Amino acid sequence: MELDEVLEALRDGRIGTGRARTLIALNSIEQVGGFARVDASRMERTGTPEVVLGSTKTLAEAEAIATRLLRTSGVALISRVRPRDRGRLAERLRRRGATVTLARRSTAVLARRRGRRQARGRVGIMAAGTSDIGTAEEARLMCEAMGCECVTAYDVGIAALGRVFPAVEEMAGAGAIVVVAGMEGALATVVSSLVDVPVIGVPTSVGYGHGGRGAAALASMLQSCAPGLAVVNIDNGIGGGAAAARIARRAR
């Protein structure tokens, strides 16, 4: 339905306010600079922000899209910003009054409008090795963009199994746990066998030889014998974080 039709249906009593709000949100696509169309109501409609893929954007384009998202939804998450642009983009968004959070070993940038209140939830994020931290940090920023508190435990892979148990204890109270692992990706199965909350496995392209570049980790997680483990695609920290945050927000 077009916006005028929605308003007329609401006026005539053919739809309620809840249905009208949903239909209006579906119509809120905004043009940015002649090069992008922003889903301005995605955060309100789904609880998940629109994520900007920075690797395909110039610095000016990323800034323009992020500025529009800050105005419309209060949150802008730009993933995989070119390394040379990350600091400059963060500074430009700070000058526009945003609170900016950067990720470790990653080029993701999270900007939020100051004073904005969001729903809460708690997500645990684990990374098997230091090489997996960048993907885990993308998941963390996604969860924080969705208003969740995050507790992290990094470099806790099963090569030294004793590291896993204290990390799992740190996840107490989380509504969901994201487990990021490369190589054979076994950490996700181990964690899923120890906890009573949903686990989201994120395989990474860390590895070498046969099954390297994430293929072995993805296959291992998909073939897990621990029920309750869901799996996203290789290096998809954003998707893993979004799934965990949605679960945690409902479990709050």
CA-based nearest residue to 75, from 197, 192, 245: 245
What's the confidence (pLDDT) of residue 195?
A: 94
Q: CB under 8 Å to 111, separation ≥6 — which residues?
A: 66, 70, 75, 76, 77, 78, 90, 93, 98, 99, 100, 101
Burial class (CB in 10 A: 0-12, 13-18, 19+), 162: exposed
What average pLDDT does the chain have?
88
Quick check: 124 and 118 in contact, CB under 8 A?
A: no
DSSP-derived pairing of the beta strands 109-113 and 75-79: antiparallel
Q: Rounded distance, CA 249 to CA 11, Å?
A: 33
Burial 128-142 (b: 16+ CB within 10 A, else e): bbebbbbbbbbbbbb
Q: Quick one: pLDDT band at residue 136, thresholds 50, 70, 90?
A: very high
What's the confidence (pLDDT) of residue 228?
A: 85
Average pLDDT over residues 89-93: 94
Instruction: Report pLDDT digits (tens) over 212-233.
Output: 899 999 999 999 999 889 999 9
Lowest mean per-residue pLDDT among 36-40, 57-61, 84-88, 171-175:
36-40
Q: How many CA atoms lie within 13 A of 78 on its CB side?
A: 34
What's the confidence (pLDDT) of residue 33?
A: 60
Average pLDDT over residues 166-181: 94
